[in-house]
Structure 1
Amino acid sequence: MRRPWHIPLLSLLPLVAAGGLCGASPTSVPGPLLGPDTLSVAHRAAMESELDGLRAAVARDELGWRAGETSMLRLTPEERLRRLAERPWPQTSRGGEAARGKGRKTLPPRIDWRDARGDFVSGVREQASCADGWIFAATGALESAFLRATKGGRLPDFDLAEQQALSCLDDYGLGRGCEGGWPEDVFWLAENVGLLEEGCQPYAGDPQRACDSHCPDADARRWRFAADGLVCAAADPVAIKRALVEHGPLVTTLSVDAGFMAYAGGVYRPLGPVLGYHALLLVGYDDAEGCFLVKNSWGEGWGEAGFARIAYDADCDLGNWTRWVEFDPSAMGPFAAMKPSAQRARSGESLTFRDRSLGVNAPITVWEWDLDGDGVVDATGPGPQRFVYASAGRYTPTLRVVDAQGREARRALEGGVEIVFDGPLWTVDAAAGAPDGDGSPARPFADIQQAINAAAPGDTVRVLPGVYRGAMNTALDNAGKALLLLAAGEPGDVRIDGEGEHRLLRLDAAGTPVGSASPLVRLEGFTLERGADPLRGGGILAEGVSLELVDCTVENCQTLKDVGAGGAIWCDRDLRLERCSFLENRSGGDGGAIFAAGGSVQLDGCRFDANAAGAEGGALWQGGGVLAAARSAFVDNAALLRGGALGLLGVNAGLDALRFTNNAVTAPAGDLRGGGAVAWEAPGADLLVTNCLFTGNEAPEGGALRADGGRLSGAQLTFWGNRALRRGGALALMGTGEADPVIANSILWGNAAPEASEFAAPGGAEFRHCVLAGGAGGKLVIDLDPRFRDPDGGDFSLDDDSPCLGAGAREG
């Protein structure tokens, strides 16, 4: 039975009157703290469409809050509903009548128990796929009651075992597991049985788990709470605010609508139909904003890092069945607690441990620290204590404290301390790695992201042969670090497969000081395949990061939307590619394989086959910067509008020893777009093309190359078998008067167009020592068959009796 008495806590009303609970409204609040993006392309597209509709509705109805991508919105509609109870709360209370307040005449304008000369609100939890928010709301209130009663606002956290209530309440005929329940049942369990801490019965979200504790001394570790009561059955804002002042955080309920899933900040008002019912924790209020402050149990990826502000007048049943709970510390001994500077570190690194223990009823006089868990005291006194772990492994630091009344407490650090291999070479093995690996050759990681997380800037991650898939091997995040990712074995032995659902790597410069050089990420020997993203970089997105790929293959990657860019790679800093292949990548917009914006691009010994863009640059689109491309081949690439292989805008470019074969711009014949192989538009810039072959390329204008503006120079070039649907079978040189294009020591033969079968140059062009079908004005231009050995077979070497032999000039 519940005890029909109420034990008053240490009064906080003087603190309220002094302003200790009434801090100013925060100048900024966090949004959702989202984890890695592992959504499939189709799921993300559906989510973004839904989010667009919600944002439009928020703006239309002038609701004033921010809809955004949250961890809840990332779920399928079915998964979202699993977090909610299907039935509303009962019409009559199971926990007695509403209690009268203490009659305080005036209330402070704002209370936030997270910032009341200490933080008296425990951490944000994640209930996962179970409608047990009623348990999390109740344990949240109990945790706050403990923190308030013991003045524990400096504790790192206090975490009760929600799984205990989920597993054990059924033994007493209470609760309905993952189908819903009543917070007062959890209060009953806390009062009559006692609640364990999280470490004794970790949360699994499964009501079928046995009602068993992992702690052998569980009976001695149960926390019993003294009293609880009803604030109001129907929402009463004044009564709720008074109860927040007198009792601290409160359990309450609300009905959840569709908009609540996408809440990312601001003062919430409902949007859309009711989906189900939920319980959460009231942690304060703010009269200036006209809202209550609440903590949810949907993780930090929702709301304002797991919290929300809900308007007083929000029509969502917030405040119905609001309850308080209190804890009696009078018989309590000390509470041992510590806070380490980190719980994961490299061997040889120093960690600092700070005391967070509570004396409660008498001051602590003895501290004994066993920091490596071997049963031997390593340090005494209040600290802080520093300790160096020489070897990799998992350690369980323990602190024993004794108060002035001789009562003691002992507590091991929840989760312990993991000391990892210190690199700088980290090993990943899909076949032999283990979840508890440390990245050493003897204990490799199983997933690539584990190694990246462990690595320091400048380290090397060595990936052993195998196929790497899944959340920890795609959407890889470098966390701002400069890294070398090295594939072991032969090129192609290590494959990262996005399965057409996920981008493969997302690289950024997070944490890099302003003005510092961009971090460099280098990949060697990988095959990257089937990466996908709706908008940017289906294979790799590199923002603020210089990127190098050596001996890599990137194939069948794509950006899906018609404004998508960079099917294989999207980058905005320098890009260097050596001996790489890009095969059958697709972009809905520019850059079928690569979209480069602003940095310099270097290609050497690369091959681009069958890449396609829905706009410009079938293989590569580049805007600004410098392009240096050498000893590479572009075959069967296509773009709808410009540059079947290369679409270059405002780029200073040097192209040497390149082969362009059967690339195409697929715009209709009447369109003035062009450059079947290369489209270059760069007033004021320079394009130098040397030792290149253009054959079988096609476009409306400039079957091989179209140049608009800038200064073009070419030498030792061969154009054969290219075709324009309108004019300029080989070249369309659309000068702007800056300087006439100059072509030297080159062959233009066998190209076709209805107008100007070899070249179109409305602004003029100069040819020197060239073989040109139909002839042209210039220095030593001859109109004779160059006599290639086997052009249809791809052999463009000259016969011994070719008129070209000896006809060129050393200069030019």
Structure 2
Amino acid sequence: MSAGSGDPACAAELAGLRDSLSALGNPWHCGETRLSRLSRDARRSRLGVPPPSADELSARRDVPGRMAEAALAVAGQSCTARHAPTPHLPKTFDLRDVGGRCYVTDVKDQGEIGSCSAFGTIAALETTAAYTRGCPGLRLNLSEAHLYFGHAAAREAITPDGTWPDELFADCAGIGVTFEDYYPYDDGGAGALNPGWRHRFAKADDVVDLSRDPAAIKQHIYGYGAVTACLVVYDDLFHYTGGVYRHTTEETSGGHCVALIGWDDDAGCWIAKNSWGTEWGEGGYLRIAYGEAYIEDYPTTRPTTLGCTGVSLRAWLHPQRTLGLYASAHDATGWAYLEHLGWTRLSAGPDDLAGALTSLGSARISGRPIAPFIDNDELGAFQFAH
């Protein structure tokens, strides 16, 4: 049951929050969001990470300050990751604008079910796949339904309070996850898995635990792409509309998973992509203060801040132009530079290589797009687009 915009309880809640924010100098903005209008139980249904106990929170009272201090001490550190844009970490970084190019996929909406860990994990994979290839046009759309209603359910990992992202990352690495069109998301679980999904999926490479280490989190975002992170949800977060979030109440509703896509040292915050749609926050995004809500060190012994160093693909991808070709007579290999994939090795053997290069050369000269089939990051086949 939701409350309309004239609901007295919602209005009173917002009035109290505005007073609290005003007393603190208005560090962030609140307003009536789509979650503000929901009942308390309905709000909780849009979370999805098992909440910490009071004892676990109490044991970490000193952590937020240490995490914030560590996050601010990172600027200028060396970053030798292969995909880092520069050799040193900057004070500000945002995967939505890396030299004018956006590597972050669209904000999604998990609906009225606690599937946030699936959305945070998929967001990390989608962004990492594009960023590590230097190809913002890749625009993967992977299936949260496969991860949540398929893998998590199969391993009986869905608890009444949600799921843990480390288990979902393990499934992405060990089994793989299909694309949205092969298992469409429905928050009621009404979607169905295409039986041919093993010919259209992505797998995470080298999952890395970044928990409790702000420096490692920044290194990974800068060098490989987005990471998942869990946070304690204080009740005022549902009304967030902008600014750098810091909680103003001690009342909590549970735990939640987001994807960190950047940071801003001047503002002292992380930049996170959420899964509550674009009508919440800053177009679906959250700027959250370093150390806030235990986002670097969620109160549990298991890993909760994770990333991967790459994403391998086996799938037909959308049509794109061939921009370059390269062949080596020494080892009889060929490469094609595809518009949204970069340099991709041709898997054709020596007898088929010449024909493949001739066809791709013709497509390049005419500007005719091809639909590539990528298998283990090699160009296994292609079709001319109509």
1:651-704 deviations in whole A, cap 9, x for unaligned? xxxxxxxxxxxxxxxxxxxxxxxxxxxxxxxxxxxxxxxxxxxxxxxxxxxxxx
Provide the secondary structure at the position in 1 that maps to 2:151: helix
Which residue of the partner structure matches residue 140 of structure 1?
Answer: 123
Q: Does 1:217 align with 2:196?
A: yes
Equivalent residue for 1:150, pick from 129, 133, 137: 133
Supply the AA of the counterpart residue of 1:266: G
> Relative to 1, partners in 2 of residues 1:68 and 1:154: Cα closer, same or farther, differing over 3 Å?
same
Which residue of the partner structure matches residue 361 of structure 1?
Answer: 344
- In the TM superposition, residue 131 of structure 1 has moved relative to its aligned partner by 1.1
Q: Does 1:299 align with 2:277?
A: yes
Which residue of the partner structure matches residue 786 of structure 1?
Answer: none
Q: Contact (CA 8 Å) 2:234, 2:252: kept in 1 or not?
A: yes
Which residue of the partner structure matches residue 58 of structure 1?
Answer: 21
The separation in 2 between residues aligned to 1:275 and 1:123, in whole angstroms, is 26
Provide the secondary structure at the position in 1 that maps to 2:307: strand
Provide the secondary structure at the position in 2 that maps to 1:264: strand
Whichever of the two has the greater Rg, that structure is 1
Q: Contact (CA 8 Å) 1:293, 1:307: kept in 2 or not?
A: yes
Structure 2: gaps spanning 5 or more residues = 57-73, 80-86, 298-303, 322-337, 347-359
Give the % identical residues: 26
1:326-405 matches, cutoff 5 A: 326-327=309-310, 329=312, 335-337=317-319, 357-362=340-345, 365=361, 381-382=367-368, 400-401=371-372
1:754-793 matches, cutoff 5 A: none
Provide the secondary structure at the position in 2 that maps to 1:147: helix
The separation in 2 between residues aligned to 1:309 and 1:41, in whole angstroms, is 25
Provide the secondary structure at the position in 1 that maps to 2:98: coil
> Relative to 1, partners in 2 of residues 1:168 and 1:406: Cα closer, same or farther, differing over 3 Å?
closer
Q: Which has the larger share of helix?
A: 2
Which residue of the partner structure matches residue 129 of structure 1?
Answer: 112
CA RMSD of aligned residues (A): 3.4
1:294-315 deviations in whole A, cap 9, x for unaligned? 111111011000011111143x
Q: Contact (CA 8 Å) 1:132, 1:179: kept in 2 or not?
A: no
Which residue of the partner structure matches residue 97 of structure 2?
Answer: 115
Q: Contact (CA 8 Å) 1:195, 1:222: kept in 2 or not?
A: yes
Supply the AA of the counterpart residue of 2:371: R
The separation in 1 between residues aligned to 2:49 and 2:226, in whole angstroms, is 25
> When the two structures are aligned, how many residues end up with a matched partner?
316
1:56-79 deviations in whole A, cap 9, x for unaligned? 111112241010121211222221
Supply the AA of the counterpart residue of 1:407: G
> Relative to 1, partners in 2 of residues 1:409 and 1:326: Cα closer, same or farther, differing over 3 Å?
farther
1:326-725 matches, cutoff 5 A: 326-327=309-310, 329=312, 335-337=317-319, 357-362=340-345, 365=361, 381-382=367-368, 400-401=371-372, 407-409=380-382
- In the TM superposition, residue 54 of structure 1 has moved relative to its aligned partner by 1.3
Which residue of the partner structure matches residue 329 of structure 2?
Answer: none
Which residue of the partner structure matches residue 66 of structure 2?
Answer: none
1:709-747 deviations in whole A, cap 9, x for unaligned? xxxxxxxxxxxxxxxxxxxxxxxxxxxxxxxxxxxxxxx
Where relative contact order (Cα < 8 A, 6+ residues apart) is larger, the structure is: 2
The separation in 2 between residues aligned to 1:402 and 1:180, in whole angstroms, is 35
The separation in 2 between residues aligned to 1:87 and 1:171, in whole angstroms, is 16
The separation in 2 between residues aligned to 1:84 and 1:254, in whole angstroms, is 10
> Relative to 1, partners in 2 of residues 1:59 and 1:199: Cα closer, same or farther, differing over 3 Å?
same
The separation in 2 between residues aligned to 1:136 and 1:402, in whole angstroms, is 26
- In the TM superposition, residue 255 of structure 1 has moved relative to its aligned partner by 0.4
Q: Which has the larger share of strand?
A: 1
> Relative to 1, partners in 2 of residues 1:86 and 1:148: Cα closer, same or farther, differing over 3 Å?
closer
Which residue of the partner structure matches residue 205 of structure 2?
Answer: 226
Structure 1: gaps spanning 5 or more residues = 1-37, 92-100, 340-354, 369-379, 384-398, 414-812
Which residue of the partner structure matches residue 245 of structure 1?
Answer: 222
Provide the secondary structure at the position in 1 that maps to 2:177: coil
- In the TM superposition, residue 81 of structure 1 has moved relative to its aligned partner by 1.0
Q: Contact (CA 8 Å) 2:51, 2:161: kept in 1 or not?
A: no
Which residue of the partner structure matches residue 643 of structure 1?
Answer: none
Q: Contact (CA 8 Å) 2:3, 2:39: kept in 1 or not?
A: no
1:212-238 deviations in whole A, cap 9, x for unaligned? 423x53221121222101112x3x333
TM-score by length of 2: 0.72
1:101-123 deviations in whole A, cap 9, x for unaligned? 99649521111011113211111
1:618-644 deviations in whole A, cap 9, x for unaligned? xxxxxxxxxxxxxxxxxxxxxxxxxxx
Provide the secondary structure at the position in 1 that maps to 2:17: helix
> Relative to 1, partners in 2 of residues 1:336 and 1:86: Cα closer, same or farther, differing over 3 Å?
closer
> Relative to 1, partners in 2 of residues 1:296 and 1:412: Cα closer, same or farther, differing over 3 Å?
farther
> Relative to 1, partners in 2 of residues 1:294 and 1:86: Cα closer, same or farther, differing over 3 Å?
closer
TM-score by length of 1: 0.36
> Relative to 1, partners in 2 of residues 1:115 and 1:170: Cα closer, same or farther, differing over 3 Å?
closer
1:168-201 deviations in whole A, cap 9, x for unaligned? 2245424216631111222122122211111111
Provide the secondary structure at the position in 1 that maps to 2:145: helix
- In the TM superposition, residue 148 of structure 1 has moved relative to its aligned partner by 1.6
Q: Contact (CA 8 Å) 1:84, 1:131: kept in 2 or not?
A: yes
Q: Does 1:287 align with 2:250?
A: no
Equivalent residue for 1:163, pick from 122, 125, 145: 145
> Relative to 1, partners in 2 of residues 1:280 and 1:40: Cα closer, same or farther, differing over 3 Å?
closer
The separation in 1 between residues aligned to 2:153 and 2:50, in whole angstroms, is 22
Supply the AA of the counterpart residue of 1:83: R
Supply the AA of the counterpart residue of 2:247: P
1:348-387 deviations in whole A, cap 9, x for unaligned? xxxxxxx96435415965669xxxxxxxxxxx7347xxxx
